[in-house]
Structure 1
Amino acid sequence: MEYADSAISNTVRFWLFLIADIPSIGCSIAILYHILSNRTRRHAINNHVVVILLFNNLIYEFIDISLFLNYYRLAVVSPPKESLCLIWTFIDETLYTIATVIVAWASIERHLLIFHDRWYSTPKRRFLMHYLPLTMLVSYILLFHFFAIITPPCKNTYDYTEEICGHPLCFHNNKVIGTFDTIAHDIIPAITIVICSISLLVRVVIKSRHIRKTFQWRKHRKMAIQLLSISSLYCVLYIPVAFIELAQLCCSSNIFSAHFQEYTQFVAYYVVFLLPFVYLVSVIESSWRIKNIFPCWRRTTQTVYPKVLHTTHVAAHQTNTVESIPQN
């Protein structure tokens, strides 16, 4: 059933999601293969966040977006089962939160990787500063949403005529848990992304004035550009949703129109679709660049070879000349 007061019809939503989903999946698989097929890229610390986000995206697109497409096609949840609603709600909430929190952590960690790389100089330090925080964040988010959605302290109610079964998260009605979820998983990550991205940009610009044309700094600058690209995507598409939640939490739930909230929530899903394309430019190595694909774009240089001097022949010739002088 399609609602007349909806700002975007189900048919339009279906095609917008489908057209964006297919190339996004292909791009994600290509980048993952590019990273994981090479040992150096696979072990590079700055690529681990990319791998986690792209795997997270693929699961989201294969399951969650497919359920959205099926709902937009039929206008009802099919099959109308509680188990399907639990899976849909769990994946939608959990994976979206994982992506947001991981990007927020990457915004902090990128400062450490660029300006305090000695903190990662030993395996023990890399474990404490890199692997452990990522593992703890992902595990915490999975556990929190498992207990809040799969085994909630209240009764979820489902509406099979609405997407995500009406988003039946009863724990949102609990003032303590609902407020904690909004602040910890939406507002704080959004603020962290904005502040850390702006400060990283400022630090990189200042540092670039003093250190130029060194291999180490070019590598660090590339890591900074990679993070700033994805942060910009979140700032444009996701931050408005977090801002609406913050305004509703602090002020009033009617401060924004229903259509505006609907548009911002729909557009926020394009963070998932556009993420692999944002990474594409920064992850691809120089061997894939256009100037290496088209030889005519290369600037030809003249190769200078060393000239071989036949000293032996000259010496022999001089000897023969001396020997041929007649003796008086």
Structure 2
Amino acid sequence: MNLSSDTNNNNNNTNIQLNILNTEFTRRIIFIFLIILIVPSIVCSFCILYFTIRKQQIRTHLKNHVILCIFFVNLLQATCELPVTLSSLQLGQVPLRSEILCKCWFSAINAFCMCSLQLNSFLSIERYLLIFHSRTLHRYKIILHYIPMIFLVSYSISYSFSFTMFYACKNKFDYNMAGCRSVCYIFESAIGIINWVICIFGPLLIIIIANVFLIVQVYQYKRQMVRKHIWKKKHQMLRQLVFVSGLECISWSPVSLISGIDIISTTETSIAPEFKWVSFGFIYLAILFSPLVSIMVFPELKIEITKWIQKQYAFNNNGIHPMMRNSCALERT
């Protein structure tokens, strides 16, 4: 009796674990998580866009350009690509079972994400120049700042769409998976590994190494500095980098690991679907939290939003007080 009851309990526990980790349950959790975040994220993004347009100081500073570019890329992905992902999460399959849709969807995901990662890796390198070689960067800003930024954006888009649309191989799309699972060239050993290094692992490695190196350099430089205001300025730029790049690393580490295992593995279904859904949902953390990070890293933006809130509060108070005074006067009469 005891053995049979123990066996039944083990079977029940196994069933509970399988139910918790089944693909449908995982999809639902990720869908709810993303749908809760997307509305405030987009509203905040458009508010930031409004204040950025109003405040010229935010746009003109060289140190803000790459971060603003990352913010705009994330906003475009949240408004253009993420709704398709949410639809597939809700339905459990691609909204339209079409190879063209799968190619366009994968191209969009890959282009946006690659663009964001490449810009973050460039931000990590450029931030070193801003902190320690600011004059050189400002002097040669066309070569060292504008051209690399434009190149990375255009290169990410052209690379993603050209390989997805025109590479000669037969796609085996899974219409029940995120991004239709993937395109065929990803699973070719040499090209798949090169793509993984260029699109995901390489930029992440650059971000981590550059951030660690810069943190060490800044704090070593602090000991030699006499003027505290210079240290505060450099520390502020370092903090901006850590906020932006740190969130990107957290979001992309699970995808980098799982996709790397999937490419190196001999079988195409080496990773369970539920873990692929979880890792796929993780990449949207950096996108949906981008407005919050932008507010934290731009002091000018924080000041503008604070002033606007104070004006609205003062306007509401000024509108309420006269009514209260009039009502009091009427009661006296």
TM range (shorter): 0.7 to 0.9
Change (3 A) 1:15 1:208: same
**How many residues are paired up?**
289
**Alpha carbons 1:107, 1:193 under 8 Å: kept:** yes
- Greater RCO structure (CA 8 Å; 6+ sep): 2
Please tell me the residue identity of whatever aligns with 1:275. Answer: S
Q: Does 1:57 align with 2:74?
A: yes
User: Which ranges in structure 2 are unaligned for 5 or more consecutive residues?
Assistant: 1-18, 311-333
Equivalent in the alignment of 2:161: 146
Query: Aligned partners of 1:209 and 1:292: how far apart in 2?
Result: 39
**Alpha carbons 2:178, 2:277 under 8 Å: kept:** no
Equivalent in the alignment of 1:113: 130
Query: Aligned partners of 1:198 and 1:72: how far apart in 2?
Result: 36
Please tell me the residue identity of whatever aligns with 2:201. Answer: I
1:108-127 CA-to-partner distances (Å, cap 9, x unmatched) read: 110001101121233xx100
Query: Aligned partners of 2:266 and 2:245: how far apart in 1?
Result: 28
Equivalent in the alignment of 2:250: 236
Q: Does 1:135 align with 2:140?
A: no
Query: Aligned partners of 1:226 and 1:128: how far apart in 2?
Result: 23
Equivalent in the alignment of 1:319: none
**Alpha carbons 1:193, 1:231 under 8 Å: kept:** yes
**Alpha carbons 1:17, 1:65 under 8 Å: kept:** no
Equivalent in the alignment of 1:26: 43
Q: Which has the larger displacement, 237-246 or 59-68?
A: 237-246
**Alpha carbons 2:103, 2:164 under 8 Å: kept:** yes
Please tell me the residue identity of whatever aligns with 1:166. Answer: R
Q: Which has the larger displacement, 187-196 or 284-293?
A: 284-293
Query: SS of the counterpart of 1:158?
Result: coil
Task: After TM superposition, give the deviation of residue 250 of structure 1 in Å.
Answer: 6.2
1:162-202 CA-to-partner distances (Å, cap 9, x unmatched) read: 332233x1111222221110111111111111111111112
Task: After TM superposition, give the deviation of residue 25 of structure 1 in Å.
Answer: 1.4
Change (3 A) 1:222 1:185: same
Equivalent in the alignment of 2:28: 11
Q: Which has the larger displacement, 153-162 or 182-191?
A: 153-162
**Alpha carbons 1:201, 1:228 under 8 Å: kept:** no
Query: SS of the counterpart of 1:9?
Result: helix
Change (3 A) 1:80 1:262: closer
Equivalent in the alignment of 1:162: 177
Alignment of 1:1-328 (within 5 A): 5-6=22-23, 8-122=25-139, 125-167=140-182, 169-211=183-225, 214-246=228-260, 258=272, 259-260=274-275, 262-285=277-300, 287-288=303-304
Task: After TM superposition, give the deviation of residue 214 of structure 1 in Å.
Answer: 4.8
Change (3 A) 1:36 1:210: farther
Change (3 A) 1:284 1:8: farther
Task: After TM superposition, give the deviation of residue 227 of structure 1 in Å.
Answer: 0.4
Q: Which has the larger displacement, 266-275 or 65-74?
A: 266-275
Query: Aligned partners of 2:84 and 2:150: how far apart in 1?
Result: 28
1:203-258 CA-to-partner distances (Å, cap 9, x unmatched) read: 2222233336554443332211100112221232322332344456668879x863
Equivalent in the alignment of 2:314: none
Query: Aligned partners of 1:77 and 1:291: how far apart in 2?
Result: 44
Equivalent in the alignment of 2:11: none
Change (3 A) 1:15 1:230: same
**Alpha carbons 1:32, 1:54 under 8 Å: kept:** no
1:77-117 CA-to-partner distances (Å, cap 9, x unmatched) read: 22333332222111111101110111011111100011011
1:25-77 CA-to-partner distances (Å, cap 9, x unmatched) read: 12222223333322222111111112211111111111221001112222232
TM-score (norm 1): 0.78
Task: After TM superposition, give the deviation of residue 7 of structure 1 in Å.
Answer: 7.3
Write 1 or 2 for the structure with the bigger share of helix: 2
Query: Aligned partners of 2:229 and 2:308: how far apart in 1?
Result: 21
Please tell me the residue identity of whatever aligns with 1:223. Answer: M
Query: SS of the counterpart of 2:289?
Result: helix
**Alpha carbons 2:99, 2:173 under 8 Å: kept:** yes
Sequence identity percentage: 27
User: Which ranges in structure 1 are unaligned for 5 or more consecutive residues?
Assistant: 295-328
**Alpha carbons 2:24, 2:92 under 8 Å: kept:** no
Query: Aligned partners of 1:274 and 1:83: how far apart in 2?
Result: 30
Q: Which has the larger displacement, 261-270 or 173-182?
A: 261-270
Task: After TM superposition, give the deviation of residue 3 of structure 1 in Å.
Answer: 12
TM-score (norm 2): 0.77
Query: Aligned partners of 1:250 and 1:81: how far apart in 2?
Result: 28
| Structure showing greater Rg | 1
Query: Aligned partners of 1:198 and 1:263: how far apart in 2?
Result: 28
**Alpha carbons 1:56, 1:95 under 8 Å: kept:** yes
